Structure 1
Amino acid sequence: MQVDRVLQQDHLQQGTAGRISQLFRPESVAIVGASQKGGFATEILTNIKKWGFSGEVVAVNPRYTQIAGVPCHPSLKAIPHPVGLAMVAIPSKAIPEVLEDCEAAGVRAIQIISSGFAEQAGEGESKQRWLMEWAARTGIPVVGPNCFGLMNAANQLMAVPLDFHTMKAGGISSILQSGTLVYSLIVPLLARGIGIGRVVTVGNEACLDVADFIDYFVDEEETRVITSYCEQIRRPVEFIKACERAADKGKPIVMIKVGRSEKARQAALAHTGSLVGSDVAIDAVLKRLGVIRVDTVDDLIETAVALCSTKRPRGRRVAFASFSGTAAGILSDVADSYGIEFPPLPAPAKARLERVFPEFGNVGNPLDLTAQGGYDTHIIDESLSTLATCGAYDMIIWGRGFPSCLDMGSALGKALRRAAAAAPEVVFPILSLAGGHFYSSLDPKDPMIEPKAEFNGMPFLQGLAPGLKALSALMGYAEFQRGRKPGDHLSAQWGRRSACYSEALRIMREAKDDVLTEREGKRLLALYGIPVTREALATRGDEAARIARTLDFPVVMKVESAEIVHKTDVGGVILNISSAEKAAEAFEQIMASARSHRPEAKIAGVVVQEMAKSGPEIMLGATFDPQFGPVIAFGLGGIWVEALNDVQVLLPPFDAADVQLAIGRLRGASVLRSARGGAKADLEGLADCIVKFGTLCTDLADEIGEIDINPVILSASGTGLVAVDCLVTKKKLTGA
């Protein structure tokens, strides 16, 4: 079915944006399946009529001549004017006949609300296949099936079955695979006076998917932020291209992507798979594309609100001010977990504030203006002006107790305006500690002169945790945009292979077993320029002794068997062998132990290997996502890899600078930088090694199931590194 879908999507790509426009800006709408008895279709019809959609609205049902005061026709062909959009809500078995009617009537776009397609096994899948083939043949854009409707606040097209208390056009557009999210997301935004743009529920995505609508919203001038609830990414390349276009235009995407799972972690053979989990590719891709991934609807709302800001912070230097010491205390406790820090006040700024604060005030960051500050305009003015103009902060958060309008005609409102005017490069969010109902005023007995629910280009944020996470995301998106490299498009690198590919493929294909031996794996590493230990295979004790003499003592010896992955578990590894005689003895000991533990295993012999000198150890590995390809993971290695779970993830292609930044994010980075005065590890060499490893994994993404180097040992002298142990498995054939 996926092959059919790809062919169908290729057929529809040309002019997709123009056809999608018909969904949101139709000259007329026909509701197929509306009835005087009520139901989904009738509710959609009622809403479209109530909110004053400017185009023609008709119903289609052969039993009636009018429904809810709207003309009703027996078929689409019978409608006396062109139909821009047909909303179809009838039993799935009747869909083919209605679609033929759509084609004959020249309908320009269709949304199918009906269920009973691929979400159900058996006959439902065949129905959806027919639908895809029909859409591919006709070129008519189809949304759904199994969805909830769509909206365009700009032209009051409210084609959803449930109503709203209020409506306001704005800049937050949404692509949702959930009907419930239409209300969970949109109603709270509207209640706070935050306008929405276009909203579409995509259902089964038989014909148009998330990538199509992201691509369309990128070019919609009114859309400032794209939000999405996504259960699957059906076309990875097109999704990547759409997100890259959004990043090019500075249009942020905030997404709930469900599907995190532990099953793949438990099934993974190599360390990397068990550490990073099955969802790591999605995380890595979204991060690379600048898509902000959140886990809850509250976070989706607040992050979208923050990214509505007309300004982007220059950095992460944050100040917080409020009339509450409690707010400052809570904030200090929780902000670190959201990646927000509060640099101390510069000495001149602190001295300036100490001159105006009461004796019992505590001047710092976060800044508590005290309750007295609420009555002393001089304290308010001096505090906000000082924070804004001292040059130490990129963002100044004003904290409040609960969600409400702010009177910009009050002393606080005027002080905020003066501070923002004095420092136009600083972002000024307003954040309430609690979320919930948005009140029209802070105190009902105080008349509002100029009530506002946004300031400095950003609507007010609600809830300490969601608000701080949202502001961290805003700073992160600004960092992402500043760090983008010209022409650095992931889609442009898709499918490229290096000059080493042919030889690497030969090594993989010549390996006889599903798991490569360590020597076969190291041949791959060496091919890509990754340093490996010197070693050779011995099949007899005297041969082991001879090989050992050619290496520098001490040496290490390991059993070689594709069927024995974890060699230490069977007594298959002996370290610190100091002479040829002991090498011969070690050969016999390893063979006997391995045969005792795994008598059925095919054992090729024992590898005699130079023993790398001690130094910091790195685990380097990859998992291979069926859609997005390799994801590279690295962290402190050896026996600590699972214990510390300190791993950084990169999506190829990347360069040495990207790796260096990722190294800096490791909790154990100080170990590599010799925090206790030892020699600094060769981090440049490590970065080069990881880049080469990324190239290897990209080349062999269709061949390798898992790959794990543990450890890579960095030289204690500060120069050089060597890959000591390597596990490579072949990709299992589909259905195998």
Structure 2
Amino acid sequence: MTLAITPERLASLFRPRSVALVGASNKSSFSRSAYNNLVEFGFADRTFLVNRRGAETHGRPTVTSCTRIGEPVDVAFMMVPQAGTLDALTDAAEAGIRNAVILSSGYGEAGEAGRAAQAELVAHAESLDVVLLGPNHLGFANFVDQVPVTPINGLPHRAGSVALLSQSGASSQAMLSFAGICGADLSSMVTLGNEAMITAGHVLDYLVDDEHTRAIAIFLETIRDPEVFRSAARRAAAAGKPVVVLKAGSSELAARTAAAHTGALVGDDRTIDAVFRDLGVIRVDSIEDMLITAGTAAQLGRLARPGIGVVSISGGACDILADRAEDLGAELPAFAESTEQALAEIMPPYGTIHNPLDVTGAAIIDPTIFTRAIEAVSADPGVGVVAVVNALPWQSDGRPYTGQVFADAIGDGIGRAQSPVVYVNQVLEPITAYTREVMAHARVPHAVPGLRQAVVALRNLAWWSETTRDAATPHEPRALPVPDSSARRGTWSESAARGLLADAGIPVVPAELVTSAQQAVRAAAGFGGPVALKIVSPGILHKSDIGGVRLGLAGDEAVAAAYEEVAAAGAKVPGATIEGVLVSPMRAGGTELLAGVVRDPQWGPVLAVALGGIFVEVLGDSALSPLPVTPARARQLLEGLRGAALLRGARGGEPADLDALADVIARVGDLALALGDDLESLEINPLRVAGNTVEALDAVVTWRNT
């Protein structure tokens, strides 16, 4: 039996009315810290201590078994050694406890024996109808309901709207600390450990429905249940809750098949990037960016437009922000004429009106310049969020804060603004209790410490806002004709692969399969120009490597001689079955691309688009996306290539019909989906585009059942 891990089931875990500390002991620092947290948060009268000897613990009496508690308990926090965990689970289940938080290690992280122990643990829990969090982790804390079920010290009492999930218990202490420093107040913190039963995706799914959580920050080392995570992330996007992930690990995925170049373009980390983009998950590369982005997203919500308008007391800060925006791909739009006119009435004559806007030292004399400038910039039709740069104090010198008047003026501007506004400190100073006093007086709800950090957070939020705006719109792939499943196996030749593409409506360069020099000459004459000859064999996929390709052939003698050479080269390959020689017209001009699909073991089929021909592995200029893809999404992939200028007609070249090309690439993805789990990889290389002509010049198909 597999237990259903639903949001409703997790509510009794993460919002418990009572907790049993199983294995409570005066000698255990984990027990002592967990108990002290519960007492400190006012949960002592709903905490029960279980010690198998019944010894007084933490100054309180204990019971020897959960069955002796005598009251309903929602959660058992188990701090017993691995050897005693199964018995402890049985005891908890007999007492009616249906949620267990397993602290101990030595399970899935500890080799084959540990994995066997973890499987036994899960099977036992399922037989008891008990849901497990962990093992090998440090519990959780619900800051909204003030319930800490964790031995982590220094927990904040202030509740916010960011949920923090971490597969690393050891890192969670640092994450908690920095969340406080940057003002990303937490609604909850969950350490996940081995995720033997409850995974990050399950907790994310629960948090989508949590009214107190507006953004979710997640530290991941791996994604253990991709489909659960995918479903939860889509629900989060539809609900308008940003998900910010710091994903560690970037090992390369081995190619699904040596026959396809596509496998060299798709790696574990690149696939995760593509999946996250598809799901609208914000990916970051540091704890700081994760928490600052999540905190800012929770406060500002979805932006109407991606443009950032800057109002700053410092010209130097304006220069830094402009540089970082260019580096990081953030949009600082030029002000509209109406905005320039409004600012001209506010700014001193020596001020320069552009974005970023330096309000100059005149704002020191007249702080209302801040207020009025914020209001004007927030009304600009290209601005989705205003970043206001000014200092904030983090410690008091015992005297009233001299900059309060400027913070108050900024707060007035925030109150009058037509778009979201964020206060930006120039440096990474902590947001302390004193900082919060200053902000509260000024009615400033949120601040971001650091210029670069602000650009990263606002760029991330702008990207998320645009990407997930229509997140609920489903895409159904086209139904395409495919061969019977019994034929989808073994190794296919290029001729068979061409037939598969043509049947699916994917344009293929004309060609004729011949088995003699005479047939080759007649076929070449029919094409009326220079031709190419290629050996056709299921066992010879890299034809040029064995001398099985001849190009640019004109005249009967040249074609006949090339046929004999190509056929002879194929005959020398041990065990190869030769189907014949393919004759096709030469193509000149245009741009060659690769369009391929390879099956990722976790995420399923992944589409890769790249500059093709010889440039695939040389340049590595590719874009990836999980399937399905719409033609519009395929066009985004094409326009995201570094070599996209070639498709737009660089240096006088003929521009490609990007809509026609995108439709063909989307059809390749639809074909891969129609072929189902039988397909291992499908690759067109090159896919030639010249104006509105799109043709597959070569194709490779491999199946999982060879």
- Asked if these proteins are the same fold (TM beyond 0.5), I'd say yes
Q: Residues 333-732 of structure 1: matches in 2 within 5 Å?
A: 333-347=323-337, 349-350=339-340, 353=343, 357=347, 361-377=351-367, 379-400=369-390, 404=394, 410-424=404-418, 426-438=419-431, 450-452=438-440, 459-486=446-473, 488=474, 498-501=479-482, 503=483, 505-509=485-489, 512-513=490-491, 516-593=492-569, 603-676=578-651, 679-715=654-690, 718-731=691-704
Deviations 1:19-75 (A, max 9, x none): 322222222211111212233223212221222126521211123432112331111
Question: How many Å separate the matches in 1 of 2:167 and 2:511?
Answer: 55
- Check 1:386–1:12 CA distance in 2 against 1; reply closer, same or farther (3 A cut): closer
The Cα shift of 1:728 comes to 2.1
CA distance in 2, matches of 1:173, 1:182: 12
Q: CA deviation at 1:111?
A: 0.6
Correspondences of 1:226-237 after superposition (within 5 Å): 226-237=216-227
Alignment of 1:306-321 (within 5 A): 306-321=296-311
- How far apart, CA to CA, are the structure 2 residues paired with 1:651 and 1:658? 11
| Alpha-carbon displacement from aligned partner over 1:261-295 (angstroms, at most 9, x marks no partner) | 12526986522221232333322222222222222
C-alpha spacing 1:694/1:376, structure 2 compared with 1 (3 Å): same
Letter in 2 for 1:461: V
In the TM superposition, what is the alpha-carbon distance from 1:353 to its structure 2 partner?
Answer: 4.2
Alignment pair present for 1:273 and 2:254: no
Cα separation, 2, equivalents of 1:483 and 1:632: 22
Contact 1:504-1:527 within 8 A present in 2 as well: no
Q: Distance in 1 between matches of 2:443 and 2:609?
A: 43
Contact kept, 8 Å, 1:225 with 1:252, in 2: the verdict is yes
Instruction: Give yes or no for the alignment of 1:212 onto 2:202.
Output: yes
Given the alignment of the two structures, is residue 324 of structure 1 paired with residue 314 of structure 2, yes or no? Answer: yes
Residue in structure 2 matched with residue 445 of structure 1 by the alignment: none
What is the distance in 2 between the residues matched to 1:59 and 1:248?
42
Q: Aligned equivalents of 1:31 and 1:461: distance in 2?
A: 39
Matches of 2:643 and 2:402, distance apart in 1 = 48
Q: Deviations over 1:675-705 (max 9, x none)?
A: 5555442222212211211111112342232
- The answer to which of 265-274 and 603-612 deviates more is 265-274
Query: Who is 1:110 aligned against?
Result: 100
**Are 1:174 and 1:198, in contact at CA under 8 Å, matched by a contact in 2?**
yes
User: What is the aligned-residue identity percentage?
Assistant: 33
> Separation in 2 of the partners of 1:727 and 1:260?
28
Q: In structure 2, what is the equivalent of residue 12 of structure 1?
A: 4
Distance 1:625 1:116 in 2: 30
Aligned residue in 1 for 2:242: 252
Flag the 1:647–1:27 CA change in 2: closer, same or farther, 3 A.
same
- Quick one: distance in 1 between partners of 2:182 and 2:694? 57
Runs (5+) with no aligned partner, structure 1: 1-6, 443-447
Contact residue 236 and residue 627 of structure 1 kept, 8 A: yes
Distance, in Å, in 2 between the alignment partners of 1:139 and 1:454 is 52
- Any conservation in 2 of the 1:58–1:71 contact (CA below 8 Å)? no
SS in 2 for 1:632: strand
Indicate if the aligned counterparts of 1:193 and 1:453 stay in contact, CA closer than 8 A: no
* Equivalent pairs, count: 702
Q: 1:728 to 1:165 in 2, by over 3 A?
A: closer
Supply the distance in 1 between the matched residues of 2:374 and 2:59 (Cα, whole angstroms).
57
The SS at the match of 2:111 is coil
Change (3 A) 1:385 1:210: closer
Structure 2 contact 67–91 (Cα < 8 Å) conserved: yes
CA distances 1:458-487 after superposition (whole Å, capped 9, x unpaired): x2112333321211111112112323353x
State the secondary structure of the residue aligned to 2:291.
Answer: helix
Cα distance in 2 between the residues matched to 1:453 and 1:164: 27
**What is the CA distance between 1:402 and its match in structure 2?**
6.8
Residues 697/119 of structure 1: CA separation in 2 closer, same or farther (3 Å cut): same
| C-alpha distance after superposition, 1:321-357 (max 9, x if no partner) | 2122221122222212322122223345445545665
* TM-score computed with the length of structure 2 as normaliser: 0.92
1:507 and 1:611 mapped to 2: Cα distance? Answer: 31
Q: Give me the CA root mean square deviation.
A: 2.9
The 5 Å alignment of 1:91-170 reads 91-164=81-154, 166-170=156-160
What's the offset of the Cα at 1:522?
1.1
Structure-2 change in CA distance of 1:357 and 1:685 (3 Å): closer
Letter in 1 for 2:622: V
Q: Which amino acid aligns with 1:451?
A: M
Shift of 1:215: 1.6
TM-score normalised to structure 1 length = 0.88
Does the 8 A contact of 2:220 with 2:246 survive in 1?
A: yes
Q: Contact 2:612/2:685 (CA < 8 Å) preserved in 1?
A: yes
Query: Using the alignment, how far apart are the partners of 2:82 and 2:332 within structure 1?
Result: 57
Q: Report the residue type matching 1:688 in the other structure.
A: D
Deviation at 1:192, TM superposition (A): 4.5
Provide the C-alpha distance between the structure 1 equivalents of 2:541 and 2:77, rounded to a whole number of angstroms.
57
Residues 389 and 422 in structure 1, CA contact (< 8 A), matched pair in contact too: no
Q: Does the C-alpha gap of structure 1 residues 105 and 422 become closer, same or farther in structure 2, counting only changes over 3 Å? A: closer
Query: Hey, what's the Cα distance between the residues in 2 that align with 1:557 and 1:643?
Result: 25
> Hey, what's the Cα distance between the residues in 2 that align with 1:225 and 1:283?
20
